[in-house]
Structure 1
């Protein structure tokens, strides 16, 4: 059983995989050959926590010392980079046609109001459609490879508006929502 996903970026990449028009290579050597066509070994090596020489050797088929952690990182890199034009087009179609971007997460939250900060100790299971503006910001941030903290802030703002504060009267002050502990994240669109 795979470990639960706690990376917002990877969760978006997994959701994007449902829109691919063809599947990426499945073997690590073939995946590396594809990655090395678009990136140099020196640029790719730090993201895979490997030496450039090892990447070249693995791409040529000598994978006797390829660790499972490296194979997982190679898989994440393929999911991150596979069919970028298809990904952008799918995101644009979703946003242009009022499509739903549903986030399902298990997390703990912090609320910041005028009277202070409050941590909610409960692990909440939330499934909510993100407002279109927040979905657009999330896609834009992912396209420019924004850091995980920025993606988490955008998601927290969207969940706050869609889930926690949807019943508030229009003039009432909303609290700021922060995700303090993310146990699982999935997107569906």
Structure 2
């Protein structure tokens, strides 16, 4: 399964960045080596040899293969502006919450042929009590799987969209499957 929700959480945090990541492969490699405290650790994180890292660091190699360029960029983004990333998480988890926009199959436990049958829906919903943002970010930081993240999102959508914060459909169990797309906004 594609890591849709996890990647979307990362992209949401990247929108809070105040400066762009380094552009050149050499600058990105220098940043990674500094953050990981050595060329050996950078090589392990990227899945390449230490000598390859040293060549990019020195500027002897300039244009990485497409897959290596993507790995370098991903590793740099993971570590870029950690204080800004932390502030964005804290703000979402304490005051703002998150907005979930998804196209997925939603359904409920019900008799066949009812309106509760699972069907593809496009839903955009603010999960405004910040506890949902906190749960999502905490789970992501602790290495939760995509399915675990989707379960948290399904609980939040069930509470806000389908049960209207406890005003209707009190015992409704939401089934959230066949996710086509999902995007998180802060």
* TM-score normalised by length of structure 2: 0.76
- Residues 23-172 of structure 1: pairs in structure 2 closer than 5 A: 23-39=20-36, 40-45=38-43, 47-63=45-61, 66-97=64-95, 99-109=96-106, 111=108, 113=109, 120-122=118-120, 124-130=121-127, 131-166=129-164, 169=167, 172=170
- Find the residue that maps to 1:19 and give its secondary structure: coil
Larger Rg: 2
Q: Which runs of 5+ in 1 are unaligned?
A: none
Q: Of the two structures, which has the highest relative contact order with CA contacts closer than 8 Å and spacing of 6 or more?
A: 1
Q: CA deviation at 1:119?
A: 7.6
Residue deviations 1:46-104, cap 9 Å, x none? 5534344333333333446722122122222222221122211222223333x141122
Q: Which moved more, 1:163-172 or 1:151-160?
A: 163-172
Indicate conservation of the 8 Å contact 2:39/2:53, yes or no: yes
Q: Is the 8 A contact 2:100 2:124 kept in 1?
A: yes
Q: CA RMSD in A?
A: 3.2
- Output the CA distance in 1 between the equivalents of 2:157 and 2:70: 29
* Residue 21 of structure 1 pairs with residue 18 of structure 2: yes
Tell me how far apart the structure 1 counterparts of residues 132 and 138 of structure 2 sit (CA, whole Å): 10
Distance (Å, rounded) in 2 between the aligned partners of 1:45 and 1:172: 52
Q: Report SS of the residue matched to 2:136.
A: helix
> How many residues matched?
180
Write out per-residue CA displacement over residues 8-48 of structure 1, whole angstroms, 9 at most, x where no aligned residue: 22222222122223222122221122112122555444553
Runs of 5+ unmatched residues, structure 2:
none
Residues 1:173 and 1:46: Cα distance change in structure 2 (over 3 Å): farther
